[in-house]
Chain A
């Protein structure tokens, strides 16, 4: 890639207009946000179409438009199959988790943990704090990837030095989230999903025409390296990536908050279908565009920037501007979702529940906004030391999926469907799953102490993470007492005289 090209005024106009629309939505959200419930779940008013768009847009972050684009550029089209693992997770959620959580009807995933694992001597508040901590740590990794992507894009488009770009991206995201809350977030998601789908669809014919059509791209890629049109990843790696996505999405804290924002369980089911359709369009177009860029620009020094380079050199000022705006918007909509959830971990789960249970709505709202500010600054430091997490942005995103999937999959699924799951088991499952996945990552990618014979078959930390979490949840639950009636009643039919009362604390 050469020097930063001169900015076309039309390009600037398109990006500027788009960002102004997003800012206006942010202000609208701010003006309509009066309580913590407004801030966190938009007063449960989201319908199926907007709901589907928000589920899709939350998931399709910089990880897709920057990260997956870069992976397709570098490794070819075969990475596209990771989506099928993710969608398997969505189907599990559709049947076994999302509608059930919506009917439970609280605010965050940690609310579920606190209610279902309430026998900790503090009404579930300790279990809540453990889950909040896991979320805050995991999402800090994720935010680092998103903000790094934002910095890269700013550097590429405007020539802004990366540290400045990273700081600017974090500042915009924090300000937007702190003021707009969930209502702004879901509306931005709708705009972003439309722009992503339309922009990607329009970009495909333009890029393919320049590259000589699908046949031309196929021929060039095949001659460059056959795996670019086949499969560059080992079966173990691919299964690992798919598993990380699947286990994560079943109980993804940012998606759960979106689910709670919808009207009812039927809306949630339709929204998941809408979301999968939107994702399918984006998945195919990003794969096609990524490999087409490899044909047209075979020697990019930063594969993560393949999409941005495409917008600058291939798409023209209007479509190119729209694509860059969609990238910023993707980052913004994901960062705001994640910041809301992380902030809720500190403000809603720790401050409002444990520190100041009598706080007024106004104070709780302020606490949420303050937490957004604090949690938005930590990833900036980490983003400037990206070596901590290593490599391409997409792989940093997958690390987050592994950590949180390992922590929450078993305790949430078993908590909803297995009466015998109890508080010690649920907490043990969260802690053991997270620790195992984190330990596996450090032991393989950082210190290489895990034997190669194991890593050859285990492609991702989520596999040992979920396995250990499942075993921990089940064995610790069976080894300790029955759950109380109080922790079962919100999720199961619990007759007054079935003997479970005896276990009530």
Chain B
């Protein structure tokens, strides 16, 4: 495998990770019944860990 092919493949995988991370954040914001409490900055447990 050439240098550019390997780094290109790596960049594609990296882009996938970044996209997945932001997508999960968006999903949780849209979905999240807990986000209201987050936004208030309280330290209350949300039950998210269940």
Contact = CB atoms under 8 A, between A and B. Distances in A.
Interface string B14-50: 1101101110110011001011011111111111111
Contact of A230 (B1, B13, B20, B35): B1
B13 to A, nearest CB: 6
Nearest to A263: B41
Contacts of A103: 34, 37-38, 43-46, 48
Nearest to B4: A214
Nearest to B35: A266
Contacts of A263: 41
Nearest to A278: B18
Contact of A273 (B4, B7, B22): B22
B9 to A, nearest CB: 9
B50 to A, nearest CB: 6
Contact of A91 (B21, B38, B44): B21
Interface stretch (A138-146, A242-250, A283-291, A312-320): A283-291
A196 interface: no
Interface residues of A, number: 49
Nearest to B19: A273
A280 B28 contact: no
Contact of B7 (A105, A221, A287): A287
Contacts of B34: 103, 265
Given A81-B10, A280-B15, A266 B38 contact: yes
Chain B, interface size category, equals 35 or more
Most chain B CB within 10 A, of A87, A273, A491, is at A273
B18 A229 contact: no
A213 to B, nearest CB: 10
Given A214-B4, A221-B3, A230-B1, A94 B14 contact: no
Contact of B10 (A80, A490, A491): A80
A280 B45 contact: no
Interface string A258-299: 000001111101101100110010011001100100000000
B7 A77 contact: yes
Contacts of A87: 14, 17
B50 A91 contact: no
B10 to A, nearest CB: 5
A269 B4 contact: no
A264 B39 CA distance: 6
Most chain A CB within 10 A, of B7, B10, B21, B44, is at B21
A411 to B, nearest CB: 14
A179 interface: no
Given A91-B20, A273-B22, A99 B48 contact: yes
B6 A229 contact: yes
A146 B28 CA distance: 37
B3 A270 contact: no
Most chain A CB within 10 A, of B7, B37, B41, is at B7
A218 B20 contact: no
Contact of A284 (B10, B32, B42, B43): B10
B48 A276 contact: no
Interface in A23-75: 44
Contacts of B45: 103-104, 489-491
Most chain A CB within 10 A, of B29, B38, B40, is at B38
B48 A265 contact: yes
A417 B18 contact: no
Given A91-B17, A229-B1, A229-B2, A417 B49 contact: yes
Given A264-B39, A491-B45, A78 B21 contact: no
Nearest to B40: A264
A291 B3 CA distance: 9
Nearest to A413: B49
A77 B6 contact: yes
A295 to B, nearest CB: 10
Contacts of B14: 83-84, 87, 276, 280, 283-284
Contacts of A280: 11, 14-15, 17-18
A470 B19 CA distance: 30
A363 interface: no
6 contacts: A100-B49, A270-B22, A272-B25, A276-B14, A280-B14, A284-B14
Given A265-B34, A493-B50, 20 more contacts: A80-B7, A84-B10, A94-B21, A94-B24, A100-B49, A103-B37, A103-B38, A103-B43, A104-B43, A218-B2, A265-B48, A266-B25, A266-B28, A267-B38, A269-B25, A269-B29, A284-B11, A287-B10, A288-B3, A417-B50
